[in-house]
Amino acid sequence: MPTSKRLHGRQDAELVGLVFQLTDALQHRFESVAVQHGLTRQQATLLGLLEEPQPMSVLAERLRRVASNITGLVDRLERQGLVTRERSSEDRRVIVISATRDGRDLYARFEKALYSQDLPFAALDSEQRATLLSLLRPLV
């Protein structure tokens, strides 16, 4: 029994190490491309969530941030002309954030640049990618 626990522990340690390495590489790539487009990682992420207008509270939840952090982030994007904010017509207490045309265009250019070069997943064939997706979805 101790041998299988030790093996399981080593496998877990290797999994954690590999996931950290992959995450680090992907975050570095994301941040680098964001900077090339005049954005921070958080700004690019927020713009990516604005395919449809979103309440500030939903953005805060999806970004796992407190509302005050989102307010500052939205303030900066609004000053750049990339988002607008308005009160919800259904509930005047709710602030809804929308990407402007410039914001959508910038995010489209960012996304195109982000995926224009091979990601680490390029080493996998279609079947392996599908398997990886099916393994990761329940974990996230």
Q: Residue 1: what pLDDT? A: 47
Q: Measure the CA–CA gap between 47 and 42, rounded to whole angstroms.
A: 9
Q: Residue 4: what pLDDT? A: 67
Consecutive 10-residue averages of pLDDT for the chain (140 residues): 67 91 94 96 96 94 90 95 93 93 98 89 91 92
Radius of gyration of the chain (CA): 19
The CATH number covering residue 79 comes to 1.10.10.10
The residue segments making up the domain with residue 81 are: 2-139
Q: Residue 7: what pLDDT? A: 65
pTM passes above 0.85: no
Q: Are 110 and 44 in contact (CB under 8 A)?
A: yes
Q: Residue 91: what pLDDT? A: 87
Helix (H) or strand (E) holding 90: none
Domain count, the chain: 1
Q: Measure the CA–CA gap between 6 and 30, rounded to whole angstroms.
A: 36
φ, ψ dihedrals at 118, nearest 5°: -65, 135
